[in-house]
Chain A
Amino acid sequence: MTAPAHTPVQAKSITATDLDLYYGSFLAVKGVNITIEPNKVTALIGSSGCGKSTFLRSLNRMHELVPGAYADGEVLLDDVDIYAADADPVQVRRQIGMVFQAPNPFPTMSIYDNVAAGLKLNSRKIKKSDLDAIVERALRGANLWDEVKDRLGKPGMGLSGGQQQRLCIARATAVEPDVLLMDEPASALDPISTLAIEDLITELKKEYTIVIVTHNMQQASRASDNTAFFNIEGTGKPGRLVEVDTTEKIFSNPTHKETEDYVSGRFG
């Protein structure tokens, strides 16, 4: 008897208004205005250094972990400002999870403990049976359960790269966030693992709002509903959001010339 891996859940939207992102005195991203729709996959594309990763990291306040880095502007999760004076970044990150470029399971923990990490590390008291159910659900949700159910006690580092990345996705979803941010989640993986991750992303949007940074144009067109194009005018200049629209429109008939140049491969 398998639980339904993905029961549709109403996720939350993100709205950024006049968002400027700084590293010290350097303005890295300027004036972003965007609404990220709930239960959709939004891809962020653009050339290297255009600020798309910086923008992604600002959405769950990971940006400010770099010494000197800060954000100026407003980011709403539904209608709550995550940069409000009384907002706790730790709380923000509990609701907006993140998956990183390279798989990074905790090396000291088993597969089971990795998935349960978000709950255990916060020293929450949870019944063993509940925890088992949560871990199983998260692993099923990451299409990993059948591959690891017999070795949950083994170290997470023992898995293949693609499995490790899905383990990291399970770890991020086990804490039931509203939004999942993914920073080039497949760039360190082989093509088959990449497709597995893309399929997974399509399934995950039933429950989560997903924002994914990618360098891979095919990936953006395959896996996303909406696409946001970032660009930069030159080195030392800040990155900016050029346009955001449905993926179909961005790839077939973008409003801006520079977007067309980029998606048709004329530069970048």
Chain B
Amino acid sequence: MSTEPTQREDVTDTDPNADVPGLGSLASNAHAHAEDAHTVAAPARVRPPVQVAGKVLPGWAPWGIVAATAVVMAGLVAAIGWNWALWVVGTVVVGGAAQYVVSRAVEGKRRATDRGFTYAIVAAFALALAPLISLLYTVVSRGAARFDGEFFTWSMRGVIGEGGGAVHAIYGTLIITGCATLISVPIGILAAIYLQEYGQGRLKRALTFFVDVMTGIPSIVAGLFAFSLFSIFFGPGIRLGIMGSVALSVLMIPIVVRSTEEMLRIVPNSLREASYALGVSKWRTIVKVVLPTALGGIVTGVVLAVARIIGETAPLLITVGVVSSVNVNPFDGRMQNLAVFAFNSYKSPGVPPEPSIDRAWTAALVLILIVMVLNITARFIYRRFGTEIR
């Protein structure tokens, strides 16, 4: 477009884009074209030469400024006594300010503001990731101490002080979560089928709304619900693994419904029609065409839902209780659970406290590993089996 012969209409000083030379002149070009139709008879005026190069900082400038600030701050902080946190915070804050000042001087106010906010957004992102890194580092480094064979083969039965393990808690976690999954998956998938394939009118709208609302129920309230339900029939002292499963189901069902519904929604309608056109009934179409097509995505959603609830602590604390030996029967008495085990080992460590606190961190590490494995599994399943939906 720069080869066009230029006819000039003056860009006045009130042009809001004036201080970005390149873009400003492009914008006023467009403006001028619109005017052309009305100004055919007007004497030709001359436009300024095309200019797209502005005063712009080189690409390395942001990094360079921050690096320079880091060096300066290192000197300053060292002078008043070394402190990592102060150095990092100082570098980030002063570096951002320095960048704004330099950019404003060279590139003008609008560019400087752009750089300033971009810098702030990137810094905020880094700040949000800092806890994740710190947390993972802490759990791995402190959890490694008791990440040994004994931890995975011993319970806490009769163990005082050192040694002992969490095998009872691992069993309990798997059983309680497994039962919750058995309850939640059929209800969740069927409800999603209702919403996506059958539902209409008030019931559908109500269900959609309250499933969303249900995802926000505090986990402790789910625990209280399970306790209230069972204690009405079995008295207030009741503590069972299955109570925990019921509590977790309240949390898990809405997650399963949401993700399954999403997956059913992206099954192309043409497949349903193809099946109907073969004279296949609706329910067989759903069971044999729609569900298999969405299966990868549905399984992914279930695995992610399991990952979400497997680390729940509060509802199990009040429904399943704590116990120090292995119990694999969810219908008979208290069970242990990894998250509750971690909490209790940290909160009431006994004397001396260190062995118990070490066990708490190892339980946390095991929990994180389980959650990570579940997340990675989910992504793998989706990649491998979720591709049937296009």
Contacts and interface: CB of A to CB of B under 8 A. Distances in A.
The reply to whether A and B meet directly (CB within 8 Å) is: yes
Interface of A: 60, 62, 65, 67, 90-95, 97-98, 100, 102, 104-108, 117-118, 120-123, 157, 168, 171-172, 175, 181
Contacts of A104: 268, 270-271, 273-274
Interface of B is mostly: helix
B279 interface: yes
Residue of A104, A118, A122 with highest tally of chain B CB at under 10 A: A104
Given A91-B279, A121-B289, A107 B274 contact: no
B277 A98 contact: yes
B197 to A, nearest CB: 11
A93 B271 contact: no
B276 A65 contact: yes
A172 B278 contact: yes
Contacts of B273: 62, 65, 98, 100, 104
Q: What 3 pairs between A and B have smallest CB-CB spacing?
A: A94-B279, A118-B278, A98-B277
B390 A118 contact: no
Given A67-B200, A97-B277, A106 B289 contact: yes
Nearest to A68: B200
A107 B288 CA distance: 12
B388 interface: yes
A128 B109 CA distance: 78
Interface of B: 200, 268, 270-271, 273-281, 284-285, 288-289, 292-293, 295, 388-390
A119 B216 CA distance: 45
Given A90-B279, A108-B388, A171-B274, 7 more contacts: A90-B276, A100-B270, A100-B277, A107-B271, A118-B279, A120-B288, A122-B280
Contact of B278 (A67, A121, A123, A157): A121
Contacts of A98: 273, 277
A108 B296 CA distance: 11
Contact of B280 (A60, A100, A118, A181): A118
A119 to B, nearest CB: 9
Given A106-B289, A108-B388, A168 B274 contact: yes
B195 to A, nearest CB: 14
B270 A175 contact: no
A121 B268 contact: no
Contacts of B275: 106, 117, 121
A172 B292 contact: no
Given A90-B279, A93-B279, A175-B279, A106 B284 contact: no
A183 to B, nearest CB: 10
A121 B388 contact: no
A217 B118 CA distance: 57
Contacts of B271: 104, 106-107
B292 A108 contact: yes
A175 B280 CA distance: 11
A90 B281 contact: yes
Contact of A62 (B268, B276, B285): B276
10 contacts: A62-B277, A90-B281, A93-B278, A100-B270, A106-B293, A107-B390, A121-B278, A121-B285, A122-B284, A175-B278
Contacts of A105: 274
Given A67-B200, A122-B280, A100 B292 contact: no
